[in-house]
Chain A
C-alpha cells in the first residue's frame, strides 16, 4: 500500500469515526484534538480501528505524540503488516 493511499484511507477513517462534520476541511496536518475537537472516546475508537485495519499495535505511550493525521499515517506506515490488511 502506498503512503498516499493509506493517508486517504486515514482521512476517511478520521472523518467517520471522529465524527468530523462534512463542512470541516480535513488535511494531513489537521490535529485530531486541537483542530478537529475529536473527543477522547472517539480518539480511542480511531486508534482501535487503525489497529484492526492495519494489523498494528499502537502503544499507549505513543498515542500522545500522534497529534495529526500525518503523524498517524507515518506511525502506521512504519509498522504496517500487509498480511492483516482488509
Chain B
C-alpha cells in the first residue's frame, strides 16, 4: 500500500499580513487587505484597488539579501514563504537526504514586474543592454531554484504554470513525487506579483477584473471591492502573495520526528478543453467528483469547502452549480467560503494560500468568512457570510480553476496523533 502523505509545514504571505499568523488573524476578524494603491496611478492602470504585500520584496526594508539581485517580487515572496514554512516544519538541523527533497513552486506570470521595469529603463538607455539578472529572474522556475539553493536541496524541482490553479497544481505534483517514491519531502506552493499595466489592464479589459466605477460600493470603501457570491459581485480584485506547504511521506515524518499538521488525502486535476477563459461546469463537476472517488469519500464526509470564489459573475455561479450537483442535499448543509473577499485574487499563489488556510481551519476548527457578502437569490448556499464560524471540521476540500480550462480539487484531513 502506498504510504500516507502528511503536511508538516505551511506559510501564507498575503495583503493581510507578511506571515501566516497575521493573515489568519485578519481573516478570522473579517478584515480586508484590499485598498487603493497610489502606485497604480490612473494614467497607467485601469484599477487602483488591489491587495499588496507590505514589507517584503526588492527595495523594502525587509529585502532578503539571498535574492537581492533577482528583483522580481514573486521570487522574494516565494523565498520568504519557504523560509516560514521550513521553520514551521522544524527542518533546520534535521538529518535527511537532500537529494530526496522536491521543490515545486509555480507562478502564473513570474517576473513580469521586473520585465516591465527593465523595459521602462531601456527606453532611456543608450545601449541595448538589459540587466544581466533579468533573464534569471524571468524564468518561472527561478523561485523554485532559489528555494532549493537556500536550503541546499537537490531533488526534482519544477514550476507549474497553470494560471489561477497553479498553487494547488504544485502541491498535487509534489504529492505525486512523494507517492512515486522520487522524494521523501517536498516544498510546494505558488507565488505571484504581477502588477504591471499590461496585466492589470488586460484583466480589466476582459471584464474579469472589477473596473473603476463611481457607482460601485468599492468607490467609497475599497475594502468592499472583492465580494464573492454576492448579488452585486462585479469582478475579481487582483492581489499578490505566496503560499507554501511542506509535505512528507509518513515514514519520513516519523523518522524525523516532524509535527504532523494534516493528512493530504489526494487530488484531482483535469482540463475543460472548452474555452480559453470561461469555466466549464461539467468538467469542474467531474473534478470535484473525482477527488471524492479517489479518496474513497462521500459528499457528506466534507465538512468545509474552500471555494475558488473569485467574485466574478460567472465563476461564482458556475462553482455554486457544480457544488450543488456534486454534493446534492449536503450542499446546503456544508459551509463554503471564499477568502478572496478579504485577500483578493493572487492568481498563481491563490490556491496555495487557500490550502494553507484550510490547514488552519483543520487546526483551529474555525472557518474564515466570505466577507462583504450580500445575498444573491440565485446563489443560495451557506457561504459563511461575514463572520467566522467555529465548527467541527475533519475533512476539507479546496478547489481552483484557471484560464486555459485547468481545474483542481484537493482533500485534506485533520490529523489526530496516533
Contact = CB atoms under 8 A, between A and B. Distances in A.
Interface stretch (A7-15, A25-33, A45-53, A67-75): A45-53
A57 B131 contact: no
B132 A52 contact: no
Contact of B133 (A41, A55, A57, A58): A41
Contacts of A47: 129
Contacts of A51: 125-127, 129
A48 B126 contact: no
A85 interface: no
Contacts of A58: 127
A57 B125 CA distance: 9
In the A-B complex, the 3 residue pairs with the closest CB atoms: A44-B132, A57-B127, A41-B132
B59 to A, nearest CB: 13
Nearest to B127: A57
B392 interface: no
A42 B136 CA distance: 12
A55 B129 contact: no
A48 B69 contact: no
A42 B112 CA distance: 22
B256 interface: no
Q: How large is the interface on A (under 10, 10 to 19, 20 to 34, 35 or more residues)?
A: 10 to 19
A76 interface: no
Interface of A is mostly: helix
B413 to A, nearest CB: 46
A44 B131 CA distance: 8
B282 interface: no
A31 B147 CA distance: 32
Contacts of B130: 48
A12 B129 CA distance: 22
Interface in B76-128: 121, 125-127
A54 to B, nearest CB: 10
B121 to A, nearest CB: 7
Nearest to A57: B127
10 contacts: A41-B133, A45-B131, A45-B132, A47-B129, A48-B129, A48-B132, A51-B126, A51-B127, A56-B126, A57-B126
B126 A45 contact: no
Contacts of B136: 41
Interface in B127-151: 127, 129-133, 136
A66 to B, nearest CB: 15
A58 B126 CA distance: 10
Given A51-B129, A57-B126, 15 more contacts: A41-B69, A41-B133, A42-B69, A42-B132, A45-B131, A45-B133, A48-B129, A48-B130, A51-B126, A52-B125, A55-B126, A56-B126, A57-B127, A58-B127, A84-B126
Contacts of A57: 126-127
A39 to B, nearest CB: 10
B133 A52 contact: no
A37 to B, nearest CB: 16
Contacts of A52: 121, 125
Contacts of A55: 126
Contacts of B69: 41-42, 45
A42 B69 CA distance: 9
A47 B125 CA distance: 13
Contacts of B129: 47-48, 51
